[in-house]
Structure 1
C-alpha cells in the first residue's frame, strides 16, 4: 500500500487497541500504543532510504528483507523498546503486542498488490504478489477517512474500525473475484497460458494485464471485463552467449532480473558498443514501458555504463545512463 494508507491503518489499529482495558483506561499507555502502531505501520518501508544509494540496491531490497519474518519481529521489538525508553513504567508486553501487529498488518496488506513482498523469507525468496488491490486504493483510504470522521464525532473507535474492516473483507473478496474472472477469460481464449500478471488501477473498472504463452508476450487492458490486447511480442529466449553473460553480471541488470516477472529484451549494436535492454511488460503507461534495465557493453565485453529504474522518455533514459557510474 501507499504510505498514507499504511499510516491511516496504524491510527485505526491504535483505535482498535482501546478494546484492551489497560489501553482504553490509561491515556499514557494509549498514547504510547498509538505511537507504536503508527510508526510500526510504516516501519518496513524505511528501506526507501536505499534509493539514496542506487536503484539497484533499492530493487534488491525494497519489500524484501525488510518485510521478512525476522525483520517483522525486529521492527516490533525496536519500536516498542524505543517508546518504552521514552515513556517507561508501562506494560511493555501490551505495547509490543500492538506495535508488532501493526508491522504484521503492513506486510500482509502489501501482498495484495502487483509489486508484492518477500514475506516468507528466510524460508522462501519468492515474491508474493496477488495483484488485485492497487498500491493506492481510494476505497480503502476513503473508508479510513470516514472512520476517523465517526471517531471525531464521538463514536467508539474500536467498534467503528472493526465494522469498517469487516466490510473491507467483502471488498477484497470482490476484487479477487474480478481478477479470477479476467484470468478465466484469458485461459479460455488462449488455452495454455504460462503466466498472467494483473495490475489493478485506481479506476475500479480498468486493469492492466501481462500474459505469457509458449510463443508470445501479450500486454492487455481490461475495461468492464472486456479484454483488449494492446501489444504483442514474440517470446524469444535470452541468448546463452558471452555478451548476455556479461550483461547479467551488471548490478543494475541483475537487480532488475531478480525482481521482474515478465520482460522482453532488445539488443542494438553501435560502432563501438552494444546496448542490451530489458523491458518489464507489467507497467505499460501511455504506450510506453517505463521500467527497464539498460547496459552498454564495449567490443571487449567491458561494461561501460548501465541503469535500472522507471523512466518515461528515451531522452531521460540516456541522461540517466550518462550520470551512472560503473
Structure 2
C-alpha cells in the first residue's frame, strides 16, 4: 500500500478511537503510527540494491517489530499528553490497531511482507490489490482532508471517519471476489491448454482491479497472459518466457544473485541484452504487457552492472504511458 493511503487510514483510525476535542491530535498520532513500519526506507542509504529489496517490508513489517514498537509509542504518547484521562491500555490498543492495519494491508499486494522475520524468511502476499489503487485510496483521502478542515466538534466527523474506513474495506471485499473469480477461470485455462502450474499467481495490473496479470510455470519457464473480469471469451492468450537458468553460470557465486532469487520467490527469468545479463522478477508485471505480450518486465536487474539498478521496482512501472496507452488499457479492461 502506498504511503499516502497509510497516512490517511491512520488518521481516520485516530479519529475513530478518541473523543471529540482530542481527535485531531489522535489523527496525527495515527498518521505517524501507520508510517512507522516504512522506516525501513533508510536502509537504502547504506545497503546495496539486492539487500535493500529484502530489507524493505522485512523486520519493520514483522509481528515482532509490532510487539516492540507499540508499547514504546504508547508510553511516549501517554507521557507527552499528561495530564489526560486516556488509559495506557487505550493507547496500546490504538497503536496496535494502527501498526497491525499497516502490516495487514501490505500483505494484499505483490511485493511480499515478512510477518515472521527474523524467525522465518517466508514472505506473504495475497496479490489482491495493486500497490496504488485509486478506488481504495480515494475514500480515506477525502475523509482525511475533510476531518482536518472541519472543527473538532463538528457533527459530520463520525460520518467522515466511517466513510474513510468502511468504504475502502467494502471495496477490498469486492477485490477479493474478483480475485476468486479470476483464479477459478485461469485454473480452467491451465487445464485446457496443458499449461504447467506448479507455481502460479494472479495479480492486478496497474491502478485497477479488473485486468489481471497471470503467471504460471515451472523451472523451465513461465506462461504469461492477462485476464479481465469482463472478458467474454474463456481463452487466455499466453506467451512463454524460458527461464534460462543456464545463463547464470558465469555469475552463480554472486551474492546479489542469490538475494534476487530469494526475493523473486522463484518467479524469474534471465535474458541477455547485448553483452549484459538481465534478471527479471516476473511478479511486478510487464511494461504495457497487455498491448505487447513480449514487452520487457518492469523489474529488470543488470547482474553485471549492479550500480545501474537504482529504483529498480519503479523504473519501468509507467514507462511509455501516454494518452493512447491509457485508452488502450481502458479498452482491454472492458474485455476481449
Common fold by TM > 0.5: yes
TM-score grouping bracket, smaller chain normalisation: 0.7 to 0.9
Q: Deviations over 1:18-72 (max 9, x none)?
A: 3xxxxx16x45x4553332111011101111222223223212101111001111
Match of 2:241 in 1: 233
Residue number in structure 1 paired with 2:201: 197
What residue number does 1:300 align with?
none
Within the alignment, does 1:50 sit opposite 2:43 as a pair?
yes
Alignment of 1:1-326 (within 5 A): 1-18=1-18, 24=19, 27=21, 30=23, 32-53=25-46, 54-90=48-84, 91-148=87-144, 151=147, 152=150, 154-158=154-158, 160-162=160-162, 165-191=165-191, 192-200=196-204, 201-213=206-218, 215-226=220-231, 228-229=236-237, 231-236=239-244, 238-239=245-246, 243-246=250-253, 249-250=254-255, 252-261=256-265, 262-266=267-271, 275-282=276-283, 283-286=285-288, 287-296=295-304, 308=309, 309-310=312-313, 311-312=315-316
Deviation for aligned residue 1:11? 0.8
Residue 146 of structure 1 deviates from its aligned partner by: 4.2
**For residues 293 and 254 of structure 1, do their structure 2 counterparts lie closer, same or farther at Cα, with a shift above 3 Å needed?**
farther
Offset, 1:245? 2.7
Report if aligned partners of 2:214, 2:224 keep a CA contact under 8 Å in 1.
Answer: yes
TM-score w.r.t. length of structure 1: 0.77
CA distance in 2, matches of 1:145, 1:78: 28
Which runs of 5 or more residues in structure 1 are unaligned? 19-23, 297-303, 314-326
Unaligned residue ranges in structure 2 (runs of 5+): 289-294, 318-336
2:242 and 2:35 mapped to 1: Cα distance?
Answer: 41
- Residues 174-216 of structure 1, C-alpha deviation per residue, up to 9 Å, x if partnerless? 2112122222222112224222222313134322222225754
Task: Tell me, yes or no, if the aligned pair for 1:40 and 1:75 is still in contact at 8 Å.
Answer: no
Contact 1:33 1:99 in 2 (8 A): no
- For 1:38 and 1:165, locate their aligned partners in 2 and report how far apart those are by CA, in whole Å: 14
> How many residues end up aligned between the 2 structures?
291
2:332 is aligned to: none
Q: Secondary structure at 1:281's aligned position in 2? A: strand
- The answer (yes or no) to whether the contact 2:133–2:208 under 8 Å persists in 1 is no
Say if 2:51 and 2:259, in contact at 8 Å, map to a contact too.
yes
Residues 158, 119 of structure 1: CA spacing in aligned structure 2 closer, same or farther, 3 A cutoff? farther
Deviation at 1:14, TM superposition (A): 1.0
CA distance in 2, matches of 1:172, 1:212: 28
Q: In the TM superposition, what is the alpha-carbon distance from 1:76 to its structure 2 partner?
A: 1.8
Secondary structure, in 3 states, of the residue corresponding to 2:124? coil
**Is the Cα contact below 8 Å between 1:131 and 1:198 reproduced in 2?**
yes
Instruction: Label 1:215 to 1:243 Cα distance change in 2 as closer, same or farther (>3 A).
Output: closer
Report which stretch shifted further, 53-62 or 5-14. Answer: 53-62
CA shift in 2, pair 1:260/1:143, >3 Å: same
- CA–CA separation in structure 2 for the residues paired with 1:38 and 1:263: 36
SS in 1 for 2:224: strand
